[in-house]
Structure 1
């Protein structure tokens, strides 16, 4: 609650500043606030980037941000489930087939703030509503710029929408054929030269059975969900070229998976303050604080009673960044800066006997990770060519790690404290962009990156029955080295094509390594290497638009010693081919009809390549049909062909993804 009061106080400051801004006389210059960060630098297109615009975000057939991101080939979660039917702790985000991992290997930013959970590293996708975003920018490949630590596989930048996108009021109410509901609304107001926007969303439903019908038991449960999120954002001018941005986000999500009583929750409160200066000495100063929690009850799949109560996992994230762009001439854009992140958290859980129902052990585990990074980058424009080079130096610490276990009587059985560790790591990136003519642009880039193991990977063991996965407090940092080359074609107005070839290698990759029957441990293996091709195409011709993206990746694990058995294997949860295409038609103003087809190739559940997840092809659709001036009928369809999507297969214990689902409702404010 303290954080929430701080959040509200910060929002109040923003409103006060907005209200205090005087009205300008006719001769005064007009101050325009954008609510966004600094502009992209000239060399940004040198890296493999794809943008999802607001129209695409607002017409996602499922209404989920992770499905919008799935339109970018190479985007991958640990499993194929979305945020209604997955355990949140397994929803990491990765790019470029660099190995399925419940922890994120891609850096996800919302208005510049890292969104990964400070303890687990997962992304709270259910708290990020697509309709409140202006755009998403996905850059595949490692980076060393601001908040570069963690951008091992790439960066996903989410930008909140402002008044220019949202208008005064928008909202929608939908229900599907299972009786589930989705309600969302946003309202905003201009206050002086600034604005304030408040938005909320509430999703709830009984869900579908993730367990195949033949395997269900009387206590099998639907994947029920009940989640809400609310965001308040204020933007106000401080001077003619400096603006203040204040944002607060709060959310809670409750889910049930597989069996009655197997309930989990995530909740969080985030607050951030940002100053953006667009003058000759441009700068971006950001500070944030996050409070997160996770609970989870594990139910025995043989006796159907609770065997583990992860009753509390409080975690705190705080940090900030400062970036300065001094005036160094029209040919250069120089970026200098520093950023800091602190992640600390603690797990409290109770083990319960499946036979007696008595408590058998009480456990605690936790620690603190920090990263302080210094970065410099310069873009140099030489006619049709832009060169870029950047370096980053990180001072990291892994400290205060511990694991304690007490028996039912409270007697201490294990009291392990782990040595503090720290170090310096350097990373680099560089590239070039050459616009040969208006039709062709050539680009190339090379980079390195860093990711610290999360507190979850270091200290928390877990069970997905019957498999036990042990933690490992000795895990080393992951490091990526890679390069790529590509071509962008613009054969005519509104038509864009791109092709990228890449070779990325993650050294000391953290993987769940099989040690014995139903026993795994998190270990650093030698490397994961991913080589492949990424292609994208978009076209806007009259009222028709087309977007497509595909990736083919040859990925393999490199292992020796204990991991020699993995050498040459394809990393778990990593398909060889992913692709999709969307076709949209606007027959008249405020109308929209679209269809999306997506294919995910076969992949392995485990590191030994014993359990296969078959390929799946899905068809989704969206329709917006105006009824009145500002009111439209909305129809959405997910998996319209009712494809069987297997999301988990552990020696025949199977989970299924979303079946055919049809939504209908109304949208206000077009």
Structure 2
């Protein structure tokens, strides 16, 4: 598998690990007493009313100390976060990596908006999140806000917003590297170099993960064609931040990644690749502003192997897509008690699928298919926060003009003869959404909040035009899909009964109207359809406690979710892949700056494979651990463990055809840095 990577890749990691420096690298120094530290590289500050919406922050210490070293594992510490399946990004199909919150699942598309330094990360064609391209060690903070959003890029924030912020030079250090290996022969290598440049800074970083993986097929069901879930992925990121005048800074970021996996059977190969670039201009003067522009080029391939004859039956050989977009936000000075946000954002996604259907009996080509289209969304938003002593009020409105255009589906036989040709009519319209909330500080120890909101999500190009197969079940696309619409309410309390202790609880009800689900038509056929609604109501709780060098972070969610469509067989069922209970608790101990120990207990309740609740995925409870022990200046030994109790994690159960998640995995390696 190593032949897929450029020849200079191992050399790059070796150079970085050796700590070769350049003249512009600055040494860490303490700022003079009284000097104001200006934080660079981030977006505009949160507004005073942001805590009115249910949120949870993950610190850098939590981010870099997960048992797996994967960002999706880090996000799972927020109860209610989930992907479509329980697999992580080493052993799942990339197209199943949709991110959602509050059990508002139902298919593999993201219903949560994931932003990296303000840029939407969802794949322009599929809507999945390329988690393998997001290295946790590059991040400084993660903030998760549950519930619909009416602010920037709000048309994608149906279930909530996950904001990933890159780390700066103070958090990263001048240089750093790490290399680890696990007990199955997998390796993880990463490195970065950072420098202060002209009053700003620059960072280059890389990560390479590869391994033979594990058998996702239970031992009793393996056949000669069964193979381990091998993976091989890399990502490189370059980021620069420079001041432009006294109050303005320019941020630039480029990301290149390649991710290849093998799933279940020999020859069942998938790949996800991307090249992203973005520019962001931040103004922190009296008239605060943020201007962002980005460009994304992505591709996806996938080979489907017959589970009876173990030969290729579908080659999704090429799925190129492009995403472009940007936003402009302005915060005029309107008085100390007020914060006004005015803005506009735009997103455009276009792409197409090229695939070949192959006979499982002869190996001959049956059909060649081509499908695709273009979606775009232009949004205008305004939001106002008003602080009245202990009470802060907020209200926002957004209106989106969406277009679903250029849709087509074409099938030809092996000789090029036309079998089917569909051109779908363009659709467009305006849709409004709102949100509002209140935050009341009863005392230094007690804070109450309440919020209501609405939102929308356009169907993805994948849902509209691309059928897919998890043999023998075929899931058909639906070019007539309508936008999903959300209406939600919530109320919560936050309590700090003593120093170092934080408690919070939120009750909520969210309803997704015209929710897009994979609806069963017969035992081997499903179709993406709008159903009347998915209703989710429940409670989310979080706790944090610091005692000396010990920290406990915990979250728990109970969500009663229901798919509603009177007359349908699934009416009243839980949406597919959604658990009632989910929770996590992490206990960490940092006896000194260089030492860190942590353990995480995570539980996910039982869930169902499909809308008819015919196949169950049993509940799973896992334990992971992390230890970092210094051996000399700038050198530490790192030990990690995933699923240390070797819990059986069922990630797919389709008529008794089962896939499994990560078994017990132990990592050991070395971490370098200054």
Please, what TM-score do these two structures have when normalized by structure 1?
A: 0.95
How many angstroms apart in 1 are the aligned matches of 2:216 and 2:106?
20
Q: Does 1:241 align with 2:247?
A: yes
How many angstroms apart in 1 are the aligned matches of 2:119 and 2:561?
30
How many angstroms apart in 2 are the aligned matches of 1:479 and 1:633?
49
Q: After superposition, where does 1:626-645 map in structure 2 within 5 Å? A: 626-645=630-649
How many angstroms apart in 2 are the aligned matches of 1:638 and 1:63?
10
The equivalent residue for 2:607 is 603
Q: Does 1:587 align with 2:591?
A: yes
The equivalent residue for 2:262 is 256
Q: Does 1:154 align with 2:160?
A: yes
How many angstroms apart in 1 are the aligned matches of 2:522 and 2:484?
25
Among candidates 326, 333, 355, match of residue 332 of structure 2:
326
Task: Check whether the contact 1:287–1:320 (CA below 8 A) recurs between aligned residues.
Answer: yes
Q: After superposition, where does 1:395-544 map in structure 2 within 5 Å? A: 395-544=401-550
Shift of 1:211: 0.2
How many angstroms apart in 1 are the aligned matches of 2:636 and 2:616?
43
How many angstroms apart in 2 are the aligned matches of 1:99 and 1:180?
31
The equivalent residue for 1:9 is none
Please, what TM-score do these two structures have when normalized by structure 2?
A: 0.94
Shift of 1:170: 1.2
Task: Check whether the contact 2:106–2:518 (CA below 8 A) recurs between aligned residues.
Answer: no
The equivalent residue for 2:199 is 193
Shift of 1:90: 0.5
Q: Which runs of 5+ in 2 are unaligned?
A: 1-23, 26-31
The equivalent residue for 2:576 is 572
How many angstroms apart in 2 are the aligned matches of 1:399 and 1:298?
29
The equivalent residue for 2:6 is none
The equivalent residue for 2:659 is 655
| SS of residue in 2 equivalent to 1:149 | helix
Q: After superposition, where does 1:332-343 map in structure 2 within 5 Å? A: 332-343=338-349
Between 437-446 and 565-574, report the one with greater CA deviation: 565-574
Shift of 1:495: 1.1
Ranges of 4+ aligned residues in structure 1 off by more than 3 Å: 29-33
Shift of 1:580: 1.0
Per-residue CA shift, 1:545-592, capped at 9, x if unaligned? 00000000011011035xx21111111000000011010112233111
Task: Check whether the contact 1:106–1:155 (CA below 8 A) recurs between aligned residues.
Answer: yes
| SS of residue in 1 equivalent to 2:184 | coil
Q: Does 1:76 align with 2:82?
A: yes
Q: Does 1:614 align with 2:645?
A: no
Among candidates 130, 135, 148, match of residue 136 of structure 2:
130
The equivalent residue for 1:288 is 294
Task: Check whether the contact 2:485–2:514 (CA below 8 A) recurs between aligned residues.
Answer: yes
Task: Check whether the contact 1:227–1:251 (CA below 8 A) recurs between aligned residues.
Answer: yes
Per-residue CA shift, 1:350-404, capped at 9, x if unaligned? 1111111111100000000000000000000000000000000000000000000
| SS of residue in 1 equivalent to 2:170 | helix
The equivalent residue for 1:623 is 627
Shift of 1:33: 5.3
Q: After superposition, where does 1:56-75 map in structure 2 within 5 Å? A: 56-75=62-81
Q: Does 1:277 align with 2:288?
A: no
Shift of 1:189: 0.4
Task: Check whether the contact 1:244–1:274 (CA below 8 A) recurs between aligned residues.
Answer: yes
How many angstroms apart in 1 are the aligned matches of 2:571 and 2:245?
59
How many angstroms apart in 2 are the aligned matches of 1:348 and 1:129?
30
How many angstroms apart in 2 are the aligned matches of 1:471 and 1:587?
55
How many angstroms apart in 2 are the aligned matches of 1:230 and 1:493?
41
Task: Check whether the contact 1:457–1:522 (CA below 8 A) recurs between aligned residues.
Answer: yes
How many angstroms apart in 1 are the aligned matches of 2:276 and 2:69?
22
How many angstroms apart in 1 are the aligned matches of 2:176 and 2:384?
41
Task: Check whether the contact 1:31–1:237 (CA below 8 A) recurs between aligned residues.
Answer: no
Task: Check whether the contact 2:238–2:253 (CA below 8 A) recurs between aligned residues.
Answer: yes
Task: Check whether the contact 1:33–1:235 (CA below 8 A) recurs between aligned residues.
Answer: no
Per-residue CA shift, 1:478-526, capped at 9, x if unaligned? 0000000000001122211000000000000000001112111000000
The alignment covers a number of residue pairs equal to: 643
Q: Which runs of 5+ in 1 are unaligned?
A: 1-17, 20-25
Q: Does 1:559 align with 2:557?
A: no
| SS of residue in 1 equivalent to 2:132 | helix
| SS of residue in 2 equivalent to 1:458 | helix
